[in-house]
Amino acid sequence: MGLSGGVDSAVSAALLKKDGYNVTGVFIKAWTPPGYPCSWKEDRRSAMRVAAVLDIPFITLDLEKEYKKEVVDYMIAEYKEGRTPNPDVMCNKEIKFGHFLKFALNNGADFVATGHYARTLQTKLPKKVLEKSLACATRRPPPALTACRAGEDFSERSFFWQLWEGTDKNKDQSYFLWTLTQDQLKHILFPIGDLQKPEVRKLAGKFGLPQAARKDSQGLCFLGKVDMKGFLARYIPQKKGEVLNSDGEKIGYHNGALFFTIGERHGFNITNKLEKKTPLYVIEKNVEKNTITVAPAVEKLSSNSKSVILKNINIIGEIPNKKLLCRIRYRQEKIDCKFDGNKVIFDKSQMGVAPGQSLVLYKDEICLGGGIIVQ
């Protein structure tokens, strides 16, 4: 059980023990930026208190080097290329369900569990889908509209795992879990996925856990709440550039186009008095010229995207040959779309599409996978 020190993972551990699982608590030690408050020690103490109350073994898994290389360095490299990455997605892929899962399985575990607000469901594969899966298991790359992944062997299996949204829609974290595969999902438990957050708080008190009154952590996975521009400025030199309006006229300045994402409305300075009266949003950025173009919400409508191209696509299960739903940012209301290979076509144009972010596909509450937006 991944114990972060927070209430969600604490209650998850308690529920698993109550259900008869043999639970070992694992605190994952990640990398801490130099000069930032060192919170991991207090988080670890909090996790240890959970293990003491529940009377379960407790160990610390040091993934500091892995986190720095595969999450932080990735994030910095993406920003340097002018893209807006999603480090929480990479944290889940590489750390929690990458190194942590491998560590657990290599040390005799049957499952890893986390406090994510998401659900898994094992379901029988329809015969026609199974036949397609068997056929595509020998083809590379697999067709987009089947339930297979390159290299997977479906010959001995008629069941597959689905990833569902959490019951609490205000806390649902399926958006950050789209990289999970069939081989991973069969070893993953989300004990609080069918609960509402207030229920989790009540259960923490019922189990006598000290986290019952502890505030939720916010911000980046493991790093917590950090000022992103300030953090990136340590690794990417700031360079003063021009802020332009949609007519190409200079109306202000900023400290580096690399630091901005499409749809952002803060962090730049407007010197034109007329432009100051209206909220402005970044609608375009030119990394080579170090400029950003901004516009009010009304003008911003003209910068909408009708479709996007994806890379690093991961398909969890069957993609129905019909209209789907998707999100292009966390907590966005799901939007109607069509999925065609590596292209997603929106029924209605979308504002604020940012290369580097994740697009996640859904069928109702089922998360079907996703990819990283290229353009």
Residues noted as catalytic: 91, 221
- Reading the block at residue 333, the tokens are 């209301």
Contacts of 149-154 with C-beta under 8 Å, sequence gap 24+, read 149/181, 149/182, 149/314, 149/315, 152/182, 152/183, 154/125, 154/130
Rounded CA-CA distance 192/321 in Å is 32
- 315 neighbors 341 (Cβ within 8 angstroms): no
Rounded CA-CA distance 157/22 in Å is 27
- Reading the block at residue 13, the tokens are 């551990």
Q: Which residues contact 169 (CB under 8 A, 6 or more apart)?
A: none
Q: Which of 50, 29, 25 is nearest to 38 (CA)?
A: 29
DSSP run (H or E) holding 371: strand 366-373
- 264 neighbors 283 (Cβ within 8 angstroms): no
- Reading the block at residue 267, the tokens are 């962090």
Rounded CA-CA distance 27/244 in Å is 47
